[in-house]
Amino acid sequence: MGLDAFDFWQKGEWRLAKRRIAKRKILILATGFVAITALALAAWFYAPDKPRATLEARYPGEYRTIDSVRLRLRDTGPRDGPAVILLHGFGASLDTWEPWAQALAVRFRVIRFDLPGFGLTGADPTGDYSDARQMQLLLGLMDQLGVERASLIGNSLGGRIAWSFAAQHPDRVDRLVLVSPDGFASPGFAYDRAPEVPLAMQALPHVAPRSLLRANLAAAYARPEALSEATLTRYRDMLLAPGVRRAILTRTEQTILRDPVRTLARITAPTLLLWGEEDGMIPISNAEDYLQHLPEATLMRLPGLGHLPFEEDPAGSLPPVERFLMGTP
């Protein structure tokens, strides 16, 4: 290699080296930018739990301990009236039922409570969020309150617990109202296996962006404008109750659906299926599965309503429930 050639080669290597250094600097800067952005976003969205005392003062209820779980509940209406127990859906609380509960309490003893892992009941000390555990606690609550029999009203997740309980304890259930109930397989939830929990959900115990919560809740309404700021605030407050977000993550990881056909076949209680025709969470087409396997069931369609008719239009959605509970056509 001549001197000129060596000099050219040396300069070429130097240029390559400079390019490598420049790329490395860009990579370092990019990595640093991503890290800083991630930290900024984490700081922006970070939301600590709210003090329990503050939330309990804002959202009143009474408390009963059932098998080591301190359940928040409300028990209103005449004590000698027929009992009705309301079971809310995923991420909600007993407060979701209040318009219905106040109206029903004229004739019925109305009991509603925060399911373990939600609201001001908070985390179950056992860490068990299986349906079997929910039914055990429901049975224990009925026993402690002296309720021999009750009609059950359940929405979504609460609907699945309600029909599961009615199949396992038919002697304790008078009538069954299922509002867009969960139970049959759907995209992301196959039978007999735990769901794939998105990695991003691991951040749930540390964040609670109001805008994201609004978007999720609005999807449950046929008319998103019906979602009030007060309702949104309540949902977010309950999400920020101590230990709830981590409990929700744990519950999600434990959710294993079983084919419900055999269980539904054991239900003897008269059943009303109440379904918003615009339900974007669990479509009304799923009602056919229940009608096929619940011979005592009838379907009431709610035009122009979504997954939470008792919130979106409580006055318009309640009359068929009242008629059904009273045994009138």
Strands 69-76 and 62-66: antiparallel
Same domain (yes/no): 21, 157:
no
- pLDDT at res. 301: 98
Same domain (yes/no): 21, 37:
yes
Same domain (yes/no): 109, 200:
yes
Strands 109-113 and 69-76: antiparallel
- pLDDT at res. 185: 82
In whole angstroms, give the CA distance from residue 150 to residue 112: 12
| HSE-CB of 27 using CA atoms within 13 angstroms | 6
In whole angstroms, give the CA distance from residue 162 to residue 153: 7
Query: Each residue of 247-300: pLDDT tens digit?
Result: 999 999 998 889 999 999 999 999 999 999 999 999 999 999 999 999 889 999
Same domain (yes/no): 302, 179:
yes
Residues 6+ apart with CB under 8 A from 236: 208, 210, 213
68: left (phi over 0), alpha (psi -120 to 50) or beta: left
Domain encompassing residue 194? 52-325
Distances in Å between the Cα of 219 and the Cα atoms of 204, 234, 278, 285 are: 19, 17, 10, 17
Same domain (yes/no): 12, 148:
no
In whole angstroms, give the CA distance from residue 323 to residue 329: 6
Query: Each residue of 184-203: pLDDT tens digit?
Result: 987 666 787 877 777 777 88
Same domain (yes/no): 32, 121:
no
Residues 6+ apart with CB under 8 A from 305: 222, 276, 277, 278, 279, 312, 313, 316, 317
What is the count of structural domains for the chain? 2
Tokens 């949902």 correspond to what residue? 235
pLDDT at 36 over 50: no
Q: What is the CATH number of the domain that holds 94?
A: 3.40.50.1820
Six-digit token pair at 278?
Answer: 């615009």
Residue 28 pLDDT grade (very low, low, confident, very high; cuts 50, 70, 90): very low
- Phi/psi at 300 (nearest 5 deg)? -115, 115
Contact assessment for residue 287 and residue 299, using Cβ atoms and an 8 Å cutoff: yes
Same domain (yes/no): 168, 136:
yes
Same domain (yes/no): 17, 65:
no
Same domain (yes/no): 107, 243:
yes
Same domain (yes/no): 37, 151:
no
Query: Each residue of 217-247: pLDDT tens digit?
Result: 999 999 999 999 999 999 999 999 999 999 9
Same domain (yes/no): 17, 127:
no
- pLDDT at res. 29: 36
Give the torsion through C-alpha atoms of 294, 295, 296, 298, to 10 deg: 80
